Amino acid sequence: MENMKEYDEQILIAKMAQDALAELKRGAPGIYAKFAKWFHLRPGSKNITIVTTHPCRPMRGIYVGKTIVKSAVEFLADCIGDDGETINWDKIKGISKGFVNKEFPFQADMINNLHRNLNLKKLIGARNLYFIASEVIFSRSDETRKKVDIVAHDGEGKIFFFEMKSPENKKDDPVEQVKKYIDIYGKGGRKNAIFETMMKNYPQNPITEINEYIGYGIIGYNDNPVLIEEMLIKCR
């Protein structure tokens, strides 16, 4: 088991980001909604990465200091056009177009559609799905350093790990990878205090409790009802 103290700063940063988003949501819900459509926060051990899921910059991020989260969120929301779709990237320094991992467009698309994909919810047995985090490392030792692509929950105690692969990726096995996540964080109902504390303090859609861990490997992503069942591979 990892030492909780090693994560104290990251947990503190996550809580600060959570409080900043909550304050904005209460005081300026329009600005919050504009930001949340295309961006989310990823707390680190020293700062926060603001990640975009916009199709022009899928899963690209920019580092911001922990004390300026609210102003950074407001600035990014102001960079989004009145149509809610276009973003003035020239105003944003640091989120480059550059090389994009082939999995990133699928990952971004899934995050954007997670809460409204009724067919996905039906297939995995969830009445609701709430996105919590992307590309998160909850363990720092070499043997257990696992970065989960997407973490979500159903609001009723089930936590979901999604491992994304592009259709062109014939080398990596998403099921084997997601099995490792479950082995580390929830095999046999074992509690992982670091994971649960992190998820309770994450900025967007934090959990309140975890009763079950479920993992899915996903080949590509499409919300078409015919294709979605074919792309899901389950383990638990």
The pLDDT, as a whole number, for residue 145 is: 54
Tell me the torsion sign for CA atoms 16, 57, 77, 116: negative
Phi/psi-derived region of residue 173, left when phi > 0, alpha when psi is between -120 and 50, beta in every other case = beta
pLDDT score for 45: 87
As a whole number of angstroms, the distance between CA 46 and CA 145 comes to 18
Which strand ranges, in their side-by-side order, compose the sheet holding 147-153? Answer: 130-137, 147-153, 158-165, 212-219, 232-235
Which pLDDT belongs to residue 91?
Answer: 92
Check residue 224 and give its pLDDT.
62
> How far is the C-alpha of 37 from the C-alpha of 120, rounded, in Å?
20
Instruction: Give the pLDDT of residue 48.
Output: 94
pLDDT tens per residue across all 236 residues of the chain: 467 788 899 999 999 999 999 999 999 999 999 999 999 999 988 899 999 999 999 999 999 999 999 999 999 999 999 999 999 999 998 787 766 788 899 899 999 999 988 888 988 889 999 999 998 776 555 545 568 899 999 999 999 999 888 878 767 788 888 888 888 877 666 677 888 999 999 999 999 988 888 888 888 776 665 556 666 777 65
Tell me the pTM.
Answer: 0.90
Which pLDDT value is given to residue 168?
81
Query: ∠ at Cα 63 (62, 69), nearest 5°?
Result: 105
Answer whether 213's CB lies under 8 Å from 157's CB: no
Q: Beta-carbon neighbour count of residue 142 at 10 Å?
A: 6
Orientation of helix 8-27 relative to helix 193-200, angle to 10° = 20
